[in-house]
Structure 1
Amino acid sequence: MKQMIPGLVAALTLLALPAAAQEAALPVDPETTTAAASAVGAETAYIFDTLLFLIGGILVFWMAAGFAMLEAGLVRSKNVTVQLTKNIALFAIAGLMYWIMGYNLMYPADWSINLWLGEIFSFATLDPVGSADLENSYSVGSDFFFQLMFCATTASIVSGTLAERVKLWPFLLFTFVLTGFIYPIEASWQWGGGWLSEMGFSDFAGSTLVHAAGGFAALAGAIVLGPRLGKYRNDGRMQPMPGSNLALATLGTFILWMGWFGFNGASQLAMGTIDDVADVSRIFVNTNMAASAGAVVALILSQVMYSKVDLTMVLNGALAGLVSITAEPLTPSIFASVLIGGVGGAIVIFAVPLLDRLKIDDVVGAIPVHLAAGIWGTLIVPATNPDTSYVNQLIGIVAIGAFVFVLSFIVWSILKATMGIRASDEAQISGLDISELGMEAYPDFVQAK
């Protein structure tokens, strides 16, 4: 039997030769082959680009939980429930407003002023069921989902700064304006193909477009609203008001750190080639190194300046490092990323007491982290990215800052004059949880009044 097997194999091989020769002789159309290969490549790129947007969007969504935990930990226990309510409400409002008007304002079909204004109240739409447009290289739904998360993040920045003395409903009304109108317009100048993009301004994932913009809106609100009751005493000294739960604040920071990989990594906007995937991994590394450097610098400087390490400074140092690298996480080397993030951590240490000297009350340190570090990260982009310049970067920062700050100041002033934005002294003493919601985050504990 074993001797018959080689002969059988040889016979079958001879029988197959004519068919193989016939197939080889068939004419091959190079254009058809190239078109088929291109279609397969386009479909593959579409799948992976869309997947990048969806996974990145989920990670940035998780940052909403990070903001909620960070703020819940850094406010006093009598204000925790209101802070949590604000965070889930602002995210929901951002989702609706970005759908109603924000998305199409940010990505207008035409930049002529009349047609662009026509995008107001122009609802975002999705691809038809069961279809895909390969010309976009990713689905409309994935783009909407991903960009919405950035819009909501901008509003989250404002929430922490104004904690413990802003009324709930005026804050939510401001969120309607910020997420539906202010943020989409300034973001369109760069990411929507507007004038900043044409000029050569560069902000890879939003150090200025998202973080500094949120910081400018928060700064305007803090100025109009004023500080918390008892924060700055008549003798000129600042009264410390420690947060309720540093464990929650630390958890929130780690969640934000994790979500930032989606924030920066998915801003590559493509994962359809091996080069894109390599760049995404490079962004992950640089993002992590900048955060690490920011935390370590804040750790060391807080020990030097205050004789003891301040955990809240370390947490904000890590976040400042993340904000700093967000404007350009791709082109820097690891060493450059460490330097950029480290300077961000140092900025927090010096900016926090500066705000107190100016009597600008920022409960969670969002202005130093997002505004100051965001400006620094955007300004330093030309050091590693030769495609832009310091002049262009400065023009972009000033334009976005002026637009967001002035409009935010006007909106806050109107809300103050019409319905009032500041909780009463009695409400601040008893806590906004009781005065605004009638419920407490920690009802089983006696609250210090």
Structure 2
Amino acid sequence: MNEIGLSLDTVWMLLAAMLVFWMQPGFALCEAGFTRGKNTANILMKNFVDFMFGSLLFFFIGFGFMFGSDGAGFVGIPNWGDLSFYKGDLPVEGFLMFETVFCATAATIVSGAMAERTKFSMYLIYSAVISLIIYPIEGHWTWGGGWLCSDAADSFMMTTFGDVFHDFAGSAIVHSVGGVLALIGAIALGPRIGKYTKEGKSRAIPGHNLAMAALGVFILWLGWFGFNPGSQLAASGEVNRVAISHVFLTTNLAAVSGGMATMFVTWFKYGKPSLSLTLNGVLAGLVGITAGCDVVSPIGSVVIGLVCGAVLVYAIEFIDHKLHIDDPVGASSVHGVCGILGTVMTGLFSTTAGVFYGHGFGFLGAQVFGVLVIDLWAAVCGVALFYGIKKLHGLRVNARIEEEGLDIYEHGEYCYN
């Protein structure tokens, strides 16, 4: 690679990393806006912790687990901050930063579903475990060159499906893992006080600032233009220029389609178009397209966005009203359900290997198998992690702290005076 091309690719990667980092305040504002004002400082603090802890742990150990020398395709070797194993063309420091911001995103998804009743000390533990072990190991299976993406003729995926698992920017690897962990964490915690009546009917607990939530979604939308196009990891040359432009387009089309689908479904279902659900509908479209944004057509991205935005409404309602799982921001639906949907629909809409383009069912099988394995790993780890913490020390604050707010009891200060 020539020096100019490598320089352009490096600058693009670092710019994309900045955009993905900008998603942290997006998540913070979105989560804070969808919850009550008495817990805002706690929520903002947790989003800072995700990046602070995640950066250090991923540098010392997680990056080695994810991209280090191979352990039969299942895990890399932890390296305690020694990055000499990296053999790529791009500067290792820049690539580490790009992967670090992805790791922080996976960890912060979980906090929304467990908001308003989790002990801050216990949050530190499970955030650290996600950044240290859960995300890097399944990331090694895929982006780290592990067994789910090995295209060797005698590899498991090729001999079984004739194709490898594809997740361009993380519908499964980042979002569905975060969504599954969010769901299990919310189950382990139990619902907020007053969320359900004695008869089991769900009560709405409105967020304190929809303007804040809306700004958070706009920031996340902007950050996704680093999340998805940045995953090309190159900008020089005609192939990369075209690829980045294509991913920008499919990402945006899915976002607007997801938001529109949710808006019209809520309008039809509840009689009024819901702003709060439409905000989540935009995120649902973004999550859904993330796996296949590089291989689906613009029309395919619209369909994926529409499906995710429509399904989101029913997923949130089912998890809340039928399963009685209290997820204040809908993280398990947005990231979990739509992450799985988007990964599977890539097997249908991929122009190079999808069922709808006459390529058979092998690639679809690889997509279904890959997301099942990844989320089973997340589920097993989540059960062990959250129920282990619950048994040993307790996950949840006591009733008085929950009713009066976590801000003053957990942090000694209010966000609003």
TM-score by length of 1: 0.85
Q: Secondary structure at the match of 1:184?
A: helix
Q: Which residue in the other structure is 2:30 paired with?
A: 70
- Residue 332 of structure 1 and its aligned partner are, at CA, apart by 1.9
Partner residue of 1:271?
235
Distance of 1:292 and 1:417 partners within structure 2? 43
SS at match of 1:309: coil
Specify the alignment match of 1:120 in structure 2: 78
> Residue 136 of structure 1 aligns to a residue in which SS?
coil
Conservation of the 8 A alpha-carbon contact between 1:45 and 1:137: no
State the aligned residue count.
395
Once the two structures are superposed, the pairs formed by residues 48-447 of structure 1 within 5 Å of their partners are 48-112=8-72, 119-120=77-78, 122-125=80-83, 136-198=88-150, 199=157, 200-356=164-320, 357-385=322-350, 386-387=352-353, 389-443=363-417
Is 2:68–2:78's contact at 8 Å kept on the other side of the alignment?
Answer: no
Q: Could you report, residue by residue, the CA deviation over 1:252-296 in whole angstroms, capped at 9, with x for unpaired residues?
A: 000000000000001112222112011101110110110000011
Distance in 1 between residues matched to 2:272 and 2:88, nearest whole Å: 53
Distance apart, 1:111 and its partner CA: 2.6
Structure 1: distance between partners of 2:140 and 2:317: 34
Deviates more, 1:239-248 or 1:270-279: 270-279
**Compared with structure 1, are the counterparts of its residues 340 and 422 closer, same or farther at alpha carbon in structure 2 (3 Å cutoff)?**
same
Question: 1:46-79: per-residue Cα shift (whole Å, max 9, x none)?
Answer: 1122112101100000000100000110110111
Compute the displacement of 1:124 (Å): 4.3
For residues 46 and 124 of structure 1, the distance between their equivalents in structure 2, rounded to whole angstroms, comes to 23
Query: Partners in 1 of 2:393 and 2:263 — Cα distance?
Result: 42
Distance 1:350 1:124 in 2: 47
**Using the alignment, how far apart are the partners of 2:93 and 2:34 within structure 1?**
35
Measured at CA, do residues 281 and 230 of structure 1 come closer, stay the same or move farther in structure 2, by a change above 3 Å?
same
Structure 1 residues 61 and 360, CA gap change in structure 2 (3 angstroms): same
TM-score, L = length of structure 2? 0.92
Gap change, CA 1:324 and 1:76, over 3 Å in 2? same
Q: C-alpha distance in 1, partners of 2:68/2:342?
A: 28
Distance 1:236 1:354 in 2: 13
Q: Check conservation: 2:73, 2:147, Cα contact below 8 A.
A: no
Offset of residue 197 of structure 1: 0.3
* Structure 1 residues 303-335: Cα deviation after superposition (integer angstroms, max 9, x where no partner): 111111111100000000000000011222221
CA RMSD of aligned residues (A): 1.6
Would the aligned equivalents of 1:97 and 1:176 in 2 still touch at CA under 8 Å? yes
Q: Is there any run of 5+ residues in structure 2 with no aligned partner, and where?
A: 151-156, 158-163, 354-361
**Maintained 8 Å contact 1:103/1:124:** no
Q: Is the 8 A contact 1:76 1:243 kept in 2?
A: yes
Contact 1:102–1:184 (CA<8 Å) still a contact in 2? Answer: yes
Larger Rg: 1
Instruction: Tell me the amino acid that sits aligned with residue 82 of structure 1.
Output: N
1:243 positional shift: 0.3
1:94, 1:148 within 8 Å by CA — same for their partners in 2? Answer: yes
Counterpart-to-counterpart distance in 1, 2:200 and 2:347: 41
Deviations 1:192-249 (A, max 9, x none): 1101002200001000000000011111111111111111111221111000100000
Kindly provide the amino acid, as one letter, of the partner of residue 369 in structure 2: I
Confirm or deny: 8 A CA contact 2:63 2:78 kept in the other structure: no
Equivalent in the alignment of 2:161:
none
3-state DSSP of counterpart to 1:389: helix
Contact 1:327 1:377 in 2 (8 A): yes
Q: What does the per-residue CA deviation read over 1:320-364, in whole Å, with 9 as the maximum and x for residues that have no partner? A: 000000001122222111111111111211111101120111010
Identity rate, percent? 40
